[in-house]
Chain A
């Protein structure tokens, strides 16, 4: 199977960037495409795995093709169409297109051409070849629930935290995180972020041993605070992108943008920068609308320390209030939830994070459990 993880340099050196689309614009296209997949999925009652699979296909697709060649909303529809079939929640192509039409402006919908269905069908063949028929995608959700089950603490606080983390996982689909890190690591990072923001300090967890400095050491290996914070910031950055500044709605054609060389790729040094000066911009008036649309997404299976993941508790089905951190992002100075890592515990962060931190326990479920054919010891036949 192909490797679907990229480092930051590769993420800046995409077909779109070679096609003169600057990095920020590409990130915006990715975000809009993924958000559109989620909105369409939500309208069609599709579950979190279907929308997440669609979004991952979408991000992978644009590692091989340019946004200039393939308009994002058609691709988004196609990814959702395929994800629906793969996740056993198939939707008719026509219905997806009709839903899309309802969500898009006429100008945007015009990219579907004269025969939208044929457009999506043709694209599906390109999509399948592009993703090498690597259809099975894993998402952070199940890890999130699994890890949370091990944390010990005030139940209601824990629940709040898990719900918040769930929302972050939803929103992380708008970033390229799924192209950078395994779902296990994203789950740890966003649970960590939710813990910080909901002031839930994890001091104890089930299965703790002396070797574990942090709760996540139990689930993933070699994950540093720096790495977690980098992941958190990639999600938080979503909320700090002002809508008003959004450039017009298409691949850049203006002379200014065409001239822009494939954006000067910052190297990995930038994570360091980021960690040192976490910048969650104070809420400019234009910012609010892009904040996470919490009420519009299905909420996570309620979390409880005993029940099985996957049980939906009705009381969380209709969230009415956005978690506090979203309603009022901490103004001004660097938020208190991003403390500098304890100096002694970790060696200073040097260079890029290891690309594939080996993930310890849970083997992804698509990896077959090793064959252990049942064997009965031979004994002599009865007379």
Chain B
């Protein structure tokens, strides 16, 4: 074939020329990623790697860079990344991770002219999964309350902005060294609207890591809403004491069984309408199970208010599950010991703790990557661990 004949009248560029053009064009709004220097890899997600990095001109400024995987995308820039960007641009809250910018790495020989994009976030020193897997990190009751209060505040904010997170789990909850909690990973998030005109939503129910997936999703509900995130919040809350995920199913069926064993049988009596869900008849739902949320978790939680709040979060029927507002008003947060700052406790630990770097807490949910974990539970990068504060 001849090189593409330039059409008689259109002097547009060839692909090659275009690549060159991008290389030389200074986009006024999209910075080059060379302004950051990678320090360490801190995460490996479904969509790409996450690095800790520092700004070259201002090495005190730490960021987390999440690479947008483009290699095997048939449909260009991934829609999941577009969603995450769009949603984070519109959410600004102390308890939601801040997206600083999107950077671009110029095309070069190595990546075969494929330019790479990075989402650049404010850096948080820990994620909750990393903290919980470290036995030396001990939360007292006031500190647990603070974690949960911030988590619910974040949920309250995103839900009132009509966003569902859809991937609540400890690894997606970040905590700064000062003890500020940030919801992260909006890769599965989406906007929802209160369905007007009686038109039900048709969302995908293949969201949320299995262990944190609420019963309505497991039963095929597509018209779901904020309660899906509150189920996850309940699972995380219990984990603050148990230190590992409370229901670790290997299959959707097994997850439903575990849920029934903890929360009681899934029946139309406790959850009117459940019989109409798509998978209700297909799944094997254990009968005659008593609800044992309080009984089984009391040995861990001890505190009666904590048990009661958890009991209101881990409710089978999503319409009866506590919402973020109700949960925040629960006595748990308004009785002694009151929520108390995490800064002091975290100051005893000078190393970053991330799930990616931690030894496995137990088996992993089947669709998360099985990673070989380093023996250390911290980044040995000479950065965070040297700091005294």
Contact = CB atoms under 8 A, between A and B. Distances in A.
Interface string B60-93: 0000000000000011110100100110011111
Contacts of A220: none
Interface string A124-141: 111011111111100000
Interface of B: 1, 4, 7-15, 18-19, 21-22, 25, 27-30, 74-77, 79, 82, 85-86, 89-94, 102, 104, 115, 117, 153, 156-157, 160-161, 190-191, 196-197, 324-325, 328-329, 331, 333-336, 338
B12 A69 contact: yes
A58 interface: no
Contact of B328 (A82, A119, A128, A373): A373
Interface stretch (A107-115, A205-213, A346-354): A107-115
Contacts of B25: 126
A369 B160 contact: yes
A382 B336 CA distance: 10
Contacts of B76: 81-82, 85, 93, 120-121, 124
Contact of A129 (B11, B27, B79, B94): B27
Pick from B9, B325, B329, B334 the residue with the most CB of A within 10 Å: B9
11 contacts: A69-B21, A85-B75, A86-B86, A110-B10, A122-B18, A126-B21, A130-B29, A133-B89, A136-B86, A376-B329, A382-B331
Contact of A111 (B7, B27, B82): B7
Interface string A252-263: 010000000000
A86 B83 CA distance: 7
Contact of B22 (A68, A126, A251): A126
A152 B106 CA distance: 56
A125 B113 CA distance: 12
Nearest to A367: B90
Contacts of A125: 22, 77, 115
Contacts, number: 148
Interface in A329-383: 366-369, 371-376, 378-379, 381-382
A276 interface: no
B277 to A, nearest CB: 24
B345 to A, nearest CB: 23
B4 A114 contact: yes
Given A69-B21, A124-B77, A376-B334, A135 B27 contact: no
Nearest to A252: B9
Nearest to A364: B90
Nearest to B323: A374
Contacts of B86: 86, 135-136
B10 A310 contact: no
B27 A130 contact: yes
Contacts of A134: 29, 89
A367 B86 CA distance: 12
Contacts of B161: 368-369
A118 interface: yes
Q: 10 closest Cβ contacts across the A-B interface? A: A250-B9, A132-B29, A381-B335, A71-B12, A129-B30, A110-B7, A129-B27, A376-B329, A85-B79, A111-B10
Given A64-B27, A93-B75, A93-B76, 11 more contacts: A85-B79, A88-B191, A110-B7, A123-B18, A126-B18, A126-B25, A132-B27, A134-B29, A379-B334, A381-B334, A381-B336
B72 to A, nearest CB: 13
Pick from B29, B74, B85, B335 the residue with the most CB of A within 10 Å: B29
A122 B19 contact: yes
Pick from A70, A114, A122, A379 the residue with the most CB of B within 10 Å: A122
B337 to A, nearest CB: 10
A10 interface: no
Nearest to A71: B12
Contact of A249 (B4, B9, B18, B89): B9
A368 B90 CA distance: 6
B75 A107 contact: no
